[in-house]
A and B are shown apart, each in its own frame.
Chain A
């Protein structure tokens, strides 16, 4: 029996799980989108707008964009943690990544919800 002393912030498992759940959300959303596009009428702006403005689709798109931003946050943060050693620059990159992703989530939601 090895007694390990666990140290650290303990966010590893949460992030690992979140990365998987958000991936599944985006996987399902991609399949819905591909099937809708293939099954729908010949592509035009009207049919594209009609597809994206349905309330179920709007809900799914919103979940997908939130998942994407969370997923990207975990992934990009891991990249900074692996390759950027100076703490100050790394923190700056973390902050910029987070702010950009929050902005993208708001921007995309606004595009989808004003339809």
Chain B
């Protein structure tokens, strides 16, 4: 019995999931987007720090900051980065709440995941239109 159990374990691990076959629940989608947005924000850090430097620099640097921000492609790109921040931000609050045992049960966790994903998109759309 014991030997059989060990064999079964050995057979089942590691487990490879076919990403094109599995269907993630809303919390899973929100969670992988939390990871992807986090990775994206990390990759964008040098650009964001550079923009911060220009915005706080000499008047000439500020002028070039404004000029860079006027490119539609830069705006579009920064709105995607903004989405990453907003999603990561609200998903982070969701995780902190779950840590203190708020919204742990399945219906609540499912609803909050859908809520966070929707807020991320909606708030980004509103801010994006305002900032354009």
Contact = CB atoms under 8 A, between A and B. Distances in A.
Interface of A: 20, 23-24, 27, 30, 45, 48-49, 52, 72, 75-76, 79, 97, 100, 104, 107-108, 111-112, 115
- Could you tell me the dominant secondary structure of chain B's interface residues? helix
Contacts of B38: 72, 75-76, 79
B72 interface: no
A23 B98 CA distance: 14
Task: From B35, B38, B42, B96, name the one whose CB has the most chain A CB atoms within 10 angstroms.
Answer: B42
Contacts of B99: 20
Contacts of A30: 89
Interface in B96-130: 96, 99
Nearest to B100: A20
B57 to A, nearest CB: 8
Contact of B56 (A20, A24, A52): A52
Contacts of A79: 35, 38-39
A108 B46 CA distance: 10
B74 interface: no
A27 B93 contact: yes
B56 A23 contact: no
B10 interface: no
Interface in B62-120: 62, 89, 92-93, 96, 99
Interface string B31-49: 0000100110110011001
A48 B55 contact: yes
Contacts of B35: 75, 79
A107 B53 CA distance: 9
